Structure 1
Amino acid sequence: MSMRLCKPGITLKKATTSFDGMAAYPVRNGVVLTSQRNEDTPEWLKPLKDETSANIAKLHTKSCGAAYLLSVKYKTTKYVVVYTFGTAHHRLDDDIFEPRFGLRIALNSIESSELRNMDVASLDSSTLKRRIQASRSTPVSDFGIDINQDLLTLLSGKSNDGTFARVITGRDSVSFKCPPKPGFFREKAVQAIEIFKKRTYKKNYPWVDYIDTVKDSRLIGDLENDLLAELTQAAKGRAIDASISTPEISDPLVEEAIRYSGAGMKPGKKNTFETADIYDYISEIKTALIFGKISIADIKSQKITLVESGSRKTKSEKIFKCLNMEIKKGGQRYILFSGNWYQIDSKHAKTIEDDFKSFLTPKPIFKPTKAKNERAFISQLNRRTDLLNMDQTKINPVGSTHANIEPCDFLSRKKQLIHLKDAGASSSMSHLWSQGYVSCTLMMTDASFREQFIKETKNREAIYKRSGFSIVLPKSKIIPDPTKFSIVFGVMRTRNKRDNSLDIPFFSKVAMKPSLSAIRLMNFKVFVEIIEKV
């Protein structure tokens, strides 16, 4: 069964309104709600009937659900908990529930050596979601998560205290199995609240609080206003540090189209899209944003619908729950993820910022540019005779025929290998950092790569009628001296209109650190330069 905890101030009456259309059965200090859907013919039945002349029996699907809303007292405070069964969870209003309630219970109940399942979201300009499962109880170190970048969204494992449940799965809700008995629901609710209030998780999982939930309603309101302002600027053509993604891990075997609907959308038939993209969404509400005809309440009511190809099946979710965004405000960094606002721990943020600053170029290599994108900027740089265009040079290391590694985008006579990226919103920079790391690794370890690099450089010298570049590269049979080379990452960005800062997103800095630190450990000089787009 599954249990959720309502936020402070949410009454039993308020919580009940989330379940309109369900039959209500009052109980002491609570209410039981039920629903039963009509019979439906499964979509897979017709193709099976087409395969045989025999009369296949009539088959139907049914679904039902129930919710038990219960008011309980813990110490001196009243709380409302909601148990859901079957399909009832589809009717929940996420806004009334305590975020990460179940996750906190799991963290306080499961030893870090007794984990079985973990869901994480890697936060960058695009959000990557992973589900990691172990065949037996496993320590957290074996799950291979990045504590600086991964947001923990689900935890499952064996409880260290069997009085509540033997096995627990926690996210916003807590799911568990144990034999019911008289007074069971009230007893488990009180136990769950007590475990939720503990802080023992800080010993085994101290990194969890690097990203913590924002609970101040006034601050949340300010952040939501900032979100609306950023969406409005994006509708007018500005870049936005945001993305949109489906909230659940998708079935890779199912092809799905995406539709956006709700208040502020363009009237008429809705467009369909292959993937969830922030700019597609903004295009659907562009007019309403520009003319101020849309509110945060409207955005929270909008839906993203996944339509299964060749099927009537659809899955809908609130768009607000699918928005991912980063906002810097009052010296603090906040992110919107899965419908909740999170604050990044200031000490953790300072560590990341200090690391990033250590990579910044001491003297600019590039001037601000009017180029609208990376391709236009590369064309602009072609005029510089001190640089050689190596863009789209494809080299395959030993044992590979389709790796197509780019050694760099530009090479200088000063032995600078320059990698460029137009880091507009919804564009992940992870590939940029990875490209530089792979190139450096192959330069140090693969003679064939070095030989092809020299060959391609000579070809480009002939194309662009330049000289003096191939001779700065090491001979193919000689391992280069990395201290003689500089690896430069040029990131194109526009200034933030709210604070006039020229920066890259926080989680892009987090994603940068492993690759650039590894390059530095090889003894290459490595730099990052933010190139202003004007």
Structure 2
Amino acid sequence: MIPLSAFLLKQTFDPIGALTDVPDDPEPQLAYWSNGKWDAMSWVDRHDVSAAQAGDIFVVAVGRPRSAPGWQDLLSREVPHLVFSEPPMSYGAIAFCAIDDSIDSQLLRWIAWCFGSGSRLLQRSSQDPRFGLKIALNVLGSDETSSNDNGSVSRRARLGFKVREMGFRTTAPYFQSARHRAARSIPTDGFRMDRASDLLASVGGRAQQTMLAGSVAGARSLRFRKNLSSLGELTELSATLVRWSRSTSYVQTLPWVDNIQLVEDDDLLAELQEHLIEQLMADPLPATVDALLPDDLLDVEDERAIRCILFPRERRDNASRLNLTIETIARRICRSGDPTAELATELRFLDDYDEVIGKVRLLDCICADLVIGDQQYLAYDGDFYKVDRTFAERIDTELRQLETSAIAFPAYKAVTEPQYIGLIGDQYSDRFVVLDRELIYLDGETGVEASDLVAASGALIHLKRKGKSSTLSHLFLQAANSCELLRRNVEARRIFADLIQQKAQTAVLAHQIAQVHNAQMEGRGLEVVFGFLGDWRGRTITSLPLFSRISLVYESRKVANLGFKPTVALIGDPGGQPTPRVPTMRQRTSTTAAGVPAQTLSAADNRSARRARQ
């Protein structure tokens, strides 16, 4: 049995264009199969592959010098009768099979069969990113893949199917790759994957399909073992794999797989980026485009906060930016002669001491829902995703059913969460009890923060600045974990009541909250508020990034199932005016030509004023 690994090249790539940089010494070996015979080809004539026809096979074999492994050095020293080549070589080969496209017979497609280290010779950008995954899903989910062509549903599809391994990209609370493997085939529900928001990347199991009977693993490539009597057999197999990759029979049992897909096609990425630029240059700005403050630049225990945001070549003494709004980004895109390059520029985030906390691209700070034709996409954290529109509509429909809290919150003016909570503690202590960073500890368990604030109505309030999904997910998890602890544990409720008694500024407020909690704390409709701090002009809760909306829907379900009443609060500045920085001594003693204090102007306004004085 020969291990095989098959990749489908994108339509814009031929075998030569798909190769990475290959070594000149030794020179790659080339051969091709056409008209029933093999012929050698020189490396100089490698571009002749453009004249290939369906059925042709083009083979590249590359040897790379490598350092000898430690065991080889040991044996060569100890056993003089053993001879190893110098320098040691690592060999890899690719057999490119040309086939007619199953949809467009005028189009030639290439399947790259990789042997040894051959897969390292392929550019990642040349590969169809879901070729192997879709085939594996189809062959693992049905008795015979070909039987799905007539639309019938096989017994395995009706009953579901089992797999041995799954790999996926998690989206909350942090983006990361995860891979789980079972000792035997188990149902897909047995793997720890959030089917609502995680992105399936690979799947493996035992196939029943005759041609691929045995273990199959699919991601970018399809990997399996098969006896081959000749390379010519790969041509027929290539055509079959392309046909299977076009099937969507897996949707019958795994409909959630295509809810959200990472876009990796270069042409589509370029189109989506151009569409995003058009949205940013629109007047007025659509509510579906927003800016995200990357709070994940900071460690959880880091006491620093983002105090200033600088664009490239911008000086600290000219900046007065405490927050990042989509209007600021849009103005910069409109002024740029190269908007695409502008999206790739890096922003610097400074703390109170003007030290750089971190740098991110401008594109990483934008989230947007994009619609092109009848397809919906998402721009988020520097990546683009294709989203099933009906799935997004279901999420938003459920999100709109969440009630808005009736609690009146002070205006938020682009400060950090601790500063905002501190403001409430100083000026509104008759209406709120501050419990930020106060933890409930039970024997044998980690500490849990019950809430950031407790309102006079008894409501438990959890606050977070509007930012990336990785940041907001902590808000949702904190609220759900708090509700679960208070619901199931009497001792936790007692400790929580003591905290309120200690932190309340007046006995009247503590007594008022205690009365509500005594009546409602045991899961009888006590309000739990998800509070979002940020710029909300012209936007609603559905303006949050899709991954945040998904997390909010699912965690609010948990809160409601525990007997509490989840609500949301969008806390911003009604006036929409940013809070000015504290001016320096030089700024306090200088004015513009119009007599306006310099620190109240933006950097662009200051430049205009200087030109006016000149």
Q: What residue identity is the alignment partner of 1:448?
A: E
What are the equivalent positions in structure 2 for 1:182-197 lying under 5 Å apart? 182=230, 183-197=232-246
What are the equivalent positions in structure 2 for 1:162-177 lying under 5 Å apart? 162-177=210-225
Q: Identity of paired residues, percent?
A: 22
Q: Could you say what secondary structure the match of 1:37 adopts?
A: strand
Q: Which of residues 518, 521, 531 is equivalent to 2:571? A: 531
In the alignment, what sits opposite 1:405?
Answer: 448
Worse overlay, 167-176 or 197-206: 197-206
Worse overlay, 148-157 or 30-39: 30-39
CA distance in 2, matches of 1:4, 1:338: 28
CA 1:479–1:396: 2 relative to 1, 3 Å: farther
What are the equivalent positions in structure 2 for 1:79-90 lying under 5 Å apart? 79-90=109-120
1:390 aligns with 2:420: no
Deviation of residue 367 (structure 1)?
4.8
In the alignment, what sits opposite 1:446?
Answer: 489
CA 1:456–1:212: 2 relative to 1, 3 Å: closer
What are the equivalent positions in structure 2 for 1:243-254 lying under 5 Å apart? none
1:133 aligns with 2:174: no
CA distance in 1, matches of 2:382, 2:469: 18
> How high is the TM-score relative to the length of structure 2?
0.65
CA 1:99–1:500: 2 relative to 1, 3 Å: same
Deviation of residue 14 (structure 1)?
3.4
CA 1:338–1:17: 2 relative to 1, 3 Å: farther
In the alignment, what sits opposite 1:23?
Answer: 28
In the alignment, what sits opposite 1:518?
Answer: 558
In the alignment, what sits opposite 1:260?
Answer: none
Deviation of residue 74 (structure 1)?
4.9
Worse overlay, 135-144 or 472-481: 472-481
Structure 1 or 2, whichever has the larger Rg, is 2
Contact 1:107 1:155 in 2 (8 A): yes
Deviation of residue 132 (structure 1)?
1.6
CA distance in 2, matches of 1:363, 1:299: 41
Q: What residue identity is the alignment partner of 2:227?
A: P
Deviation of residue 412 (structure 1)?
1.3
CA 1:483–1:297: 2 relative to 1, 3 Å: closer
CA 1:123–1:23: 2 relative to 1, 3 Å: same
Q: Could you say what secondary structure the match of 1:109 adopts?
A: helix
Q: Could you say what secondary structure the match of 2:13 adopts?
A: coil
In the alignment, what sits opposite 2:605?
Answer: none
What are the equivalent positions in structure 2 for 1:55-454 lying under 5 Å apart? 62-75=89-102, 76=105, 77-111=107-141, 112-124=160-172, 126-182=174-230, 183-212=232-261, 220-225=269-274, 239-240=291-292, 295=340, 326-330=367-371, 333-335=376-378, 341-361=384-404, 363=406, 365-382=408-425, 383-384=427-428, 385-397=430-442, 399-400=443-444, 403-425=446-468, 427-454=470-497
CA distance in 1, matches of 2:381, 2:437: 37
CA distance in 1, matches of 2:553, 2:115: 44
Q: Could you say what secondary structure the match of 1:489 adopts?
A: strand
Contact 1:209 1:345 in 2 (8 A): yes
Q: Could you say what secondary structure the match of 1:443 adopts?
A: helix
Deviation of residue 454 (structure 1)?
1.6
Deviation of residue 472 (structure 1)?
2.3
> How high is the TM-score relative to the length of structure 1?
0.73
Q: CA offsets per residue over residues 158-194 of structure 1, 9 Å max, x none? A: 1131213422111111111111222222122112112
Query: How much is the aligned-residue C-alpha RMSD, in angstroms?
Result: 4.4
Contact 2:367 2:380 in 1 (8 A): no
Q: What residue identity is the alignment partner of 1:88?
A: G
CA distance in 1, matches of 2:486, 2:366: 37
Q: Where do 5+ consecutive residues of structure 2 fail to align? A: 34-55, 142-159, 282-289, 298-311, 314-323, 325-331, 347-359, 579-614
CA distance in 1, matches of 2:279, 2:296: 14
Q: What residue identity is the alignment partner of 1:482?
A: G
In the alignment, what sits opposite 2:527?
Answer: 486
CA 1:525–1:339: 2 relative to 1, 3 Å: closer
Q: Could you say what secondary structure the match of 1:3 adopts?
A: strand
Contact 1:422 1:492 in 2 (8 A): yes
Deviation of residue 102 (structure 1)?
0.6
In the alignment, what sits opposite 1:35?
Answer: 62
In the alignment, what sits opposite 2:583?
Answer: none
Contact 2:133 2:222 in 1 (8 A): yes
Deviation of residue 444 (structure 1)?
2.1
CA distance in 1, matches of 2:419, 2:93: 58
CA distance in 1, matches of 2:487, 2:450: 12
In the alignment, what sits opposite 1:251?
Answer: none
Contact 2:483 2:559 in 1 (8 A): yes
Q: Could you say what secondary structure the match of 1:27 adopts?
A: strand
CA distance in 2, matches of 1:147, 1:387: 38
CA distance in 2, matches of 1:476, 1:500: 33
Q: Where do 5+ consecutive residues of structure 1 fail to align? A: 49-54, 233-237, 246-264, 267-278, 280-286, 303-318
Worse overlay, 366-375 or 344-353: 366-375
Q: What residue identity is the alignment partner of 2:526?
A: F
Contact 1:64 1:86 in 2 (8 A): yes
CA 1:16–1:481: 2 relative to 1, 3 Å: closer
CA 1:13–1:299: 2 relative to 1, 3 Å: farther
CA distance in 2, matches of 1:298, 1:15: 27
Q: What residue identity is the alignment partner of 2:534?
A: R
CA distance in 2, matches of 1:339, 1:468: 46
Deviation of residue 240 (structure 1)?
3.5
Q: Could you say what secondary structure the match of 1:136 adopts?
A: strand
Q: What residue identity is the alignment partner of 1:157?
A: G
Worse overlay, 69-78 or 173-182: 69-78
Deviation of residue 225 (structure 1)?
3.5
Q: Could you say what secondary structure the match of 1:145 adopts?
A: coil
CA 1:491–1:128: 2 relative to 1, 3 Å: farther
CA 1:409–1:243: 2 relative to 1, 3 Å: closer
Q: CA offsets per residue over residues 26-82 of structure 1, 9 Å max, x none? A: 302242222222231558999x9xxxxxx8789997533222222123553421111
Worse overlay, 11-20 or 32-41: 11-20
Deviation of residue 528 (structure 1)?
1.7
Contact 2:434 2:503 in 1 (8 A): yes
Q: What residue identity is the alignment partner of 1:3?
A: A
